[in-house]
């Protein structure tokens, strides 16, 4: 048992596990078999919606990635990761300078049936064509879409796309979807030609990101603002039921083409080779239905898995000492055939400072000192030990593990805990307690209170208690404003929060993924802090254009130092995750940069592994 757990928590966790162990390990299998369906049952935290251009949270992208498809995808078993075609016929063909790319689509891919197609298809299946891809990518630039994916799209630099966006904003008129642009040309029914404003050697990685998934224009225009509720794609599943923040059900898409399981694990990858041998040649998806219960509280989620109600669970950190004591799967779980899949993810948990807020924002020495003092006062090691039970590593920079530009030996102030240094910084730059009440005033002599957004879940209350302890230790008063996660995310994008802690995960293996939230033009999108520094913007542009090599690695180092110096985000941890898998769920392997894994797993009744 971890020393960080108090006795009461340990007793509760042990009692919950003991109560669950006597239940039949395959309690839910008879109902599945009686229905004649293979049903994948999961739990998830709250979602926001299902329009790939409009969502940015992993919970929602996990759903959209099974309804919609991208041109490219990552091989499910290859490590290191490897791109391969999805709806594209082959990988994009580049010009010598990596500025022009040609992509050909596979013919015969069809959208799920929808009333919006009746006027154009006369009852025939609606085929996916190059014009659909062009329209979908233009949607990222449409100001009306408010896409979190625009910041990455803008960095890619499709010639003419940003100009269309500026025109729509400046003239306050609808986005000109039908106007041809140089950077995105439909050559024929199944061929696209991209022309980029600058050299982009890693352009294909972007074409595998979930925000670039293809939608049908007829459907989007038919449903307008309700597009988040009415997803229609070409993927292996379709949305069958949605009760917001309660239940999501996906059914097999009857229009989905014949796709057989295949992968390219490394020759020395024993686990990967075993999965390939077991699943190769099976038609996707292997399950008929996916049922997702939305559960924000961790204990009910954990108990439902133990009861056999769910086939997979992302193990809440608080239950790690019970499920994996000493880092090994508990014997009673092992006896039931339950498996654990654990890995540090390319994911970063951070506290954002609104750089446009008059108290914590700005670029003056006093405001920079306040942010850095807050950063130094946050006890990340205690957070990892007490709240995450060792399921994280301290973050040194936004370039997370598994990304190019990440070096394990690189250390920074970002992971330092020093209340003494924090207090000295505050004193030096005028954040002093002038009236002796124990709380500091601004350099201008005004009282102030830090306001931190949070969520109502019990787990977040423990994080808030630690944050209050850390801020009180350096004389800063803090209060917490509670709302559900989707509301906080919306407010953060609109620049209405002062501070908020949230996690973000890279969608591709290039280290630029971790740095894009520092791009000025990404304010209101992935850049929740609304940080805008010309030197950083120029550095990010150079990183995009340079080929991999020593010069680019040195530039990564420079960018990382700037993130520490200006502190628009206090980077706290790179999160480790543990998935527990029931014995009848076959084929699961932790995805690193993608979300579409439902199609690659099978439910094998009566099997124990």
Cis peptide before 505 (omega within 30 of 0): no
CATH number at residue 440: 3.10.105.10
564 and 467 share one domain:
yes
pLDDT above 90 for 316: no
Choosing from 164, 188, 223, the residue where a domain stops is 223
Q: What is the pLDDT of residues 9-57, one digit of tens each?
A: 333 333 333 333 232 233 344 454 545 799 999 999 888 899 999 998 8
Q: Which one has a higher pLDDT value, 297 or 474?
A: 474
| Pair type for strands 247-252 and 237-243 | antiparallel
11 and 79 share one domain:
no
277 and 355 share one domain:
no
pLDDT above 70 for 609: no
| Pair type for strands 585-586 and 339-353 | unpaired
**59 within domain boundaries:** no
Task: Round to whole Å and give the CA distance between 483 and 91.
Answer: 43
pLDDT above 60 for 436: yes
How confident is the model over 401-409, as a mean pLDDT? 92
CA neighbours within 13 Å on the CB side: how many for 86?
31
258 and 405 share one domain:
no
**426 within domain boundaries:** yes
* DSSP-derived 3-state class of residue 386: helix
391 and 484 share one domain:
yes
How confident is the model over 289-311, as a mean pLDDT? 93
**DSSP secondary structure letter of residue 314:** E
Contacts of 326 (CB under 8 A, 6+ apart): none
Compute the CA torsion angle 381, 386, 388, 391 (nearest 10 deg): 60
268 and 371 share one domain:
no
Task: Round to whole Å and give the CA distance between 519 and 537.
Answer: 6
591 and 559 share one domain:
no
321 and 365 share one domain:
no
Q: Residue 600 CB: number of other CB atoms within 10 A?
A: 23
405 and 521 share one domain:
yes
Q: E strands along 506-595, which residues? A: 569-581, 585-586
**230 within domain boundaries:** no
**239 within domain boundaries:** no
CATH number at residue 254: 3.40.190
The total domain count for the chain is 3
CA neighbours within 13 Å on the CB side: how many for 464?
19
**52 within domain boundaries:** no
Q: Which one has a higher pLDDT value, 594 or 213?
A: 213
How confident is the model over 260-282, as a mean pLDDT? 96
114 and 144 share one domain:
yes
pLDDT above 80 for 557: yes
pLDDT above 70 for 152: yes
327 and 293 share one domain:
yes
**235 within domain boundaries:** no
Q: Residue 494 CB: number of other CB atoms within 10 A?
A: 10
**241 within domain boundaries:** no
pLDDT above 70 for 166: yes
pLDDT above 90 for 327: no
Quick one: pLDDT at residue 563? 97
Confidence of residue 122 (pLDDT cuts 50, 70, 90): low
**60 within domain boundaries:** no
Quick one: pLDDT at residue 236? 98
pLDDT above 60 for 5: no
Task: Round to whole Å and give the CA distance between 138 and 194.
Answer: 12
CA neighbours within 13 Å on the CB side: how many for 42?
27
Domain extent at residue 86: 65-223
Tell me the Ramachandran region of residue 398: left when phi exceeds 0, alpha when psi lies from -120 to 50, beta otherwise: alpha
CATH number at residue 83: 3.90.76.10
472 and 555 share one domain:
yes
């Amino acid at each position: 048992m971890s020393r960080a757990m108090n006795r009461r928590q340990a007793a509760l966790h042990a009692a919950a596990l003991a109560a669950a162990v006597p239940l039949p390990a395959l309690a839910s299998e008879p109902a599945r078999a009686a229905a004649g369906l293979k049903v994948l049952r999961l739990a998830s935290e709250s979602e926001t919606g299902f329009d790939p251009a409009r969502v940015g949270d992993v919970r929602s992208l996990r759903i959209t990635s099974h309804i919609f498809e991208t041109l490219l995808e990552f091989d499910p078993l290859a490590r290191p990761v490897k791109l391969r075609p999805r709806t594209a016929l082959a990988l994009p063909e580049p010009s010598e300078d990596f500025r022009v790319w040609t992509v050909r689509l596979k013919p015969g891919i069809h959208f799920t049936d929808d009333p919006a197609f009746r006027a154009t298809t006369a009852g025939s299946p609606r085929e996916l064509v190059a014009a659909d891809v062009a329209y979908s990518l233009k949607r990222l630039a449409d100001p009306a879409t408010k896409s979190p994916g625009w910041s990455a799209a803008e960095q890619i630099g499709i010639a003419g796309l940003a100009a269309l966006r500026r025109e729509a904003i400046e003239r306050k008129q609808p986005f000109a979807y039908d106007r041809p642009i140089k950077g995105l040309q439909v050559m024929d029914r199944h061929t696209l030609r991209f022309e980029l404003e600058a050299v982009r050697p890693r352009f294909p990685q972007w074409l595998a990101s979930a925000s670039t998934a293809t939608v049908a224009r007829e459907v989007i225009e038919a449903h307008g603002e309700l597009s988040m509720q009415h997803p229609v794609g070409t993927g292996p599943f379709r949305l069958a039921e949605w009760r917001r923040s309660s239940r999501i059900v996906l059914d097999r898409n009857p229009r989905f083409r014949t796709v057989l399981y295949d992968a390219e694990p490394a020759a020395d990858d024993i686990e990967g080779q075993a999965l390939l041998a077991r699943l190769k040649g099976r038609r996707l998806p292997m399950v008929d239905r996916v049922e997702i219960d939305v559960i924000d509280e961790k204990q009910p989620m954990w108990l439902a898995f133990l009861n056999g109600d769910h086939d997979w669970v992302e193990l809440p950190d608080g239950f790690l000492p019970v499920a994996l004591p000493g880092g090994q799967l508990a014997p009673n779980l092992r006896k039931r055939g339950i498996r654990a899949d654990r890995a540090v993810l390319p994911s970063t948990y951070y506290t954002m400072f609104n750089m446009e807020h008059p108290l914590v924002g700005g670029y003056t020495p006093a405001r920079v000192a306040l942010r850095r003092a807050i950063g130094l006062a946050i006890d990340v090691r205690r957070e990892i030990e007490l709240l995450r039970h060792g399921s994280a590593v301290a973050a040194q920079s936004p370039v997370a593990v598994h990304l190019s530009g990440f070096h394990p030996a690189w250390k920074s102030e970002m992971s330092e805990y020093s209340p003494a240094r924090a207090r000295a910084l505050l004193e030096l730059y005028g954040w002093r307690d002038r009236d002796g009440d124990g709380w500091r005033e601004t350099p201008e002599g005004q009282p102030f209170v830090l306001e931190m957004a949070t969520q109502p879940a019990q787990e977040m209350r423990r994080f808030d208690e630690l944050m209050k302890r850390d801020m009180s230790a350096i004389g800063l008063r803090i209060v917490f404003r509670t709302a559900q996660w989707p509301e906080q995310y919306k407010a953060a994008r609109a620049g209405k929060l002062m501070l908020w802690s949230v996690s973000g995960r890279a969608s591709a293996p290039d280290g630029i993924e971790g740095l894009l939230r520092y791009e000025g033009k990404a304010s209101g999108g992935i850049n929740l802090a609304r940080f805008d520094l010309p030197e950083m913007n120029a550095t990010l542009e150079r990183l995009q254009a340079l080929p991999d090599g020593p010069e680019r690695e040195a530039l990564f180092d420079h960018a990382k130092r700037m993130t520490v110096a200006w502190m628009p985000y206090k980077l706290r941890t790179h999160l480790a995750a543990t998935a527990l898998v029931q014995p009848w769920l076959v084929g699961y392997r932790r995805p690193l940069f993608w979300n579409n894994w439902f199609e690659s797993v099978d439910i094998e009744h009566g099997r124990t592994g």
